[in-house]
Amino acid sequence: MSQKTILRALAGETQAIPPVWMMRQAGRYLPEYRATRAEAGDFLSLCYNPDLAAEVTLQPIRRYGFDAAILFADILLIPQALGLDLWFATGEGPRLSTITRAHEVARLKPVEAIHETLSPIYETVRILSRELPRETTLIGFAGAPWTVATYMIAGRGTPDQGPAHAFKAADRAAFTQLIERVTEATIAYLSAQIEAGAEVVKLFDSWAGSLQGADFHDFALQPAQRIIAALKTRYPHIPVIAFPREAGPRYAGFARATGADCVALDNSVSADWAAAEVQKDGCVQGNLDPKLLVSGGAALETETRRVVQAFSKGPHIFNLGHGITPDADPENVARMIAAIRG
């Protein structure tokens, strides 16, 4: 069995001290990240500069000794590679040209064309594969099709994903075609990351919770199932983590239904419930409230230990319920890790 603790957890091993990493662990809460981003000039230039993207991926590993590094990139690089315009507005986040009609879906670039745009990302993976400490697992990732599609339709993040729901209601066939195109591109993108050296891949469905009824099955569960099945056919030894954020009770059974090796949990579900209903199917990842890394104090240490204890009877990767926020205190991250590792 691998000596890498993340891989051991993903293989189903229960460990006395769970491995730990954090979503968005390379980010604005770190002064060294802000310095490197300033050197790059802007966020997209940082994503597409393999040396600098590798550098920011390595920064939290050097500082904290996390058990995994996650590739520094963005979920909206796939829409850009498929032909949409992408830019980042200062202080406002990402902006995309939009898709709102069937003929615009048809005009997207073929999946085979994405690799030309995304080749710098694969080079970042190759650099990390060489430079990470031997004990550190390299995680690749992509956005799940529903979440990516919401940005492609609205051109930005929205509170309720309303434009995507409206497109889905107005022309379900065209919407389904969009999901299929993004699904195919995601399989190709993650396959290329694995070929470059990713040891695990994660599928982020940040807006899965806004899908209801059959829509959750059709546009969250089924695309994940299709992506994971394709990857497992090509790379049966590569574990896949699925994160259908805010799925609530639908976290239960998600691993069985999709073939995921691990289900990542947000902090809207209790660790005790998830241990009983989700962990019985295999590894779980999560689920400390990110706000505790802002407030710190005794509550941070108490809650960290509580999460560890709740999941202690099965395979567990310690993580946050969502990404660490820019206002988090780097010292609180060190306190969290100390509480995990004792």
> Catalytic residue positions?
24, 28, 37, 74, 151
> Residue 76 is encoded by which pair of tokens?
């909206």
Spatial distance between the Cα atoms of 97 and 227, rounded to a whole number of angstroms: 25
What letter would DSSP give residue 12? T
Reference 196, options 83, 60, 65, 73; nearest CA is: 73
Spatial distance between the Cα atoms of 103 and 16, rounded to a whole number of angstroms: 54
Residue with tokens 């195919």: 184
End-to-end CA distance of the chain: 25
Q: Cis ω on the peptide bond leading into residue 332 (within 30° of 0)? A: no
Spatial distance between the Cα atoms of 14 and 11, rounded to a whole number of angstroms: 9
Spatial distance between the Cα atoms of 167 and 144, rounded to a whole number of angstroms: 18
Residue-wise burial string across 317-338, b where 16 or more C-beta atoms lie within 10 A, e elsewhere: bbbbbbbbeeebeeebbebbbe
Strands 93-96 and 137-143: unpaired
Strands 86-89 and 316-320: unpaired
Which residues does 153 contact at the CB level (< 8 Å), separation at least 6?
98, 99, 100, 163, 164, 167, 178
